[in-house]
C-alpha cells in the first residue's frame, strides 16, 4: 500500500509532463518552458565543462608550441651571431693577408690570447714565441699601424708592450710637415709626441709615423693621428696628443715582423 502511494506521485508527474508536451502550447506554454529550462540547465553546464576542458587541453598544446618556437628562435639568433662573427673574422683575416702581400716584410700572424691594461702597463700576450721565430724586440703591427714590440718571449707565446704603455718610446715624424719628436705612451690609450719646438708645424689631424732614427722600429709605420696640440710644461716646447690607429679592446690578431 505504501509502495502504491509513493508511485502515485510519479504517475501524476508523468501524466502532467505528457500533457505539457502533447496539448497545445496555449494551455501549457509557461510550464513547458519551465521544464525545458530545467532539463537544459545540466546540458548547458556539461557543455560548458567540456568546452573548458577542450580549451585547457588546447592551451597546453599552444604553450608547448610557443616554448618550442622560442627555443628555435633563440637557436636561430645564436647561429646568426656566429655567422656575423665569422664574417667579421674573415674580413679581418682578408685585410691581414692583403697587407702581407702588399708589403716587403716577412710576417708571422698571431692571435691575442690575453690582455693587460692598467694605469702603469699596457700589454698583450700573443700565441707565437721562439718556435715561430719570435724574439725580444720583434715589432708587432696590424694593417692599421704599429702596435708595439715584444719584451718577453717563451717557446709558444710572447708578451708585447704596446705603444700606449708608459715605458714605451718611439722616434716619430709628422707625415705632413716632417717635424720630428719622440712618442711616449700615456694613460687612457693615448700617446704623447714630445720635444717639438715652439714653432713646429704640427696640427690636429696630422698622421704620425715612425722615423728613420729608431733602432727597433722600421721607418714609415703609422703611430696614430694628432688629436690635440699643447704647450709643454715650462712653455719651451710643444707636445701633441696622438691617438693610435688600433683600438685596444678590438685587437684580436696581429702581425709580427721577422
Task: Please report the pLDDT score of residue 179 as a whole number.
Answer: 94
Is residue 163 within 8 Å of 139, Cβ to Cβ? no
Q: Output the pLDDT for position 27.
A: 47
What was the pLDDT predicted at 178? 93
pLDDT of res. 185: 95
Residue whose C-alpha cell is 693621428: 225
DSSP notation for 26-37: HHHHHHHHHHHH
Q: Does the domain made of 106-258 have the CATH classification 3.40.1350.10?
A: no
Cβ neighbour number for residue 123 with a 10 Å cutoff: 21
Q: Are 149 and 137 in contact (CB under 8 A)?
A: yes
* Segment 150-161, tens digit of pLDDT: 999 999 999 999
Contacts 24+ apart (CB under 8 A), 227-235: 227/190, 228/204, 229/202, 229/203, 229/204, 231/198, 232/194, 232/196, 235/198
> Structural domain boundaries of the chain?
27-102, 106-258
- Which has the closest alpha carbon to 160: 120, 114, 204, 193? 114
For cell 576542458, name the residue: 53
d(CA 83, CA 78): 9
**HSE (CB half, 13 Å, CA atoms) of 141?**
26
The strand pairing partners of 126, in sequence order, are: 112, 158
- pLDDT on residue 208: 96
* C-alpha to C-alpha distance for 204 and 206, rounded to whole angstroms: 6
Q: How does pLDDT run along the chain (258 residues), one tens digit per residue?
A: 555 555 665 565 555 555 555 555 544 455 555 555 565 566 566 666 666 666 666 676 777 777 777 777 777 776 665 666 566 666 666 665 665 566 667 888 899 999 988 877 899 999 999 999 999 999 999 988 899 999 999 999 999 999 999 999 999 999 999 999 999 999 788 999 999 999 999 999 999 999 988 889 999 899 999 999 998 777 789 999 999 988 888 888 899 998
* Residue that is written with C-alpha cell 656566429 in the block: 82
List own/partner pairs for 65-68 with CB under 8 A and 24 or more apart. none
Amino acid at each position: 500500500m505504501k509502495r502504491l502511494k509513493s508511485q502515485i506521485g510519479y504517475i501524476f508527474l508523468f501524466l502532467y509532463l505528457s500533457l505539457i508536451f502533447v496539448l497545445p502550447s496555449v494551455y501549457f506554454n509557461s510550464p513547458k518552458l519551465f521544464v525545458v529550462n530545467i532539463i537544459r540547465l545540466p546540458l548547458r553546464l556539461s557543455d560548458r565543462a567540456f568546452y573548458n576542458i577542450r580549451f585547457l587541453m588546447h592551451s597546453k598544446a599552444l604553450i608547448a608550441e610557443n616554448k618550442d618556437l622560442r627555443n628555435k628562435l633563440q637557436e636561430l639568433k645564436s647561429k646568426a651571431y656566429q655567422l656575423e662573427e665569422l664574417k667579421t673574422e674573415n674580413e679581418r683575416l682578408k685585410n691581414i693577408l692583403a697587407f702581407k702581400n702588399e708589403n716587403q716584410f716577412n710576417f708571422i700572424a698571431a692571435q691575442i690570447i690575453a690582455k693587460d691594461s692598467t694605469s702603469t702597463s699596457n700589454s698583450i700576450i700573443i700565441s707565437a714565441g721562439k718556435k715561430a721565430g719570435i724574439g725580444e724586440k720583434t715589432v708587432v703591427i696590424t694593417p692599421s699601424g704599429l702596435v708595439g714590440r715584444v719584451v718577453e718571449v717563451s717557446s709558444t707565446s710572447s708578451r708585447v708592450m704596446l705603444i700606449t704603455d708608459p715605458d714605451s718610446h718611439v722616434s716619430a715624424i709628422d707625415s705632413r710637415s716632417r717635424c720630428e719628436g719622440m712618442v711616449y705612451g700615456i694613460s687612457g690609450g693615448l700617446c704623447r709626441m714630445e720635444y717639438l719646438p715652439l714653432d713646429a708645424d704640427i696640427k690636429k689631424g696630422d698622421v704620425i709615423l715612425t722615423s728613420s732614427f729608431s733602432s727597433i722600429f722600421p721607418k714609415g709605420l703609422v703611430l696614430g693621428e694628432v688629436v690635440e696640440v699643447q704647450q709643454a710644461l715650462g712653455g719651451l716646447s710643444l707636445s701633441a696628443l696622438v691617438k693610435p690607429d688600433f683600438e685596444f679592446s678590438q685587437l684580436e690578431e696581429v702581425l709580427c715582423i721577422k
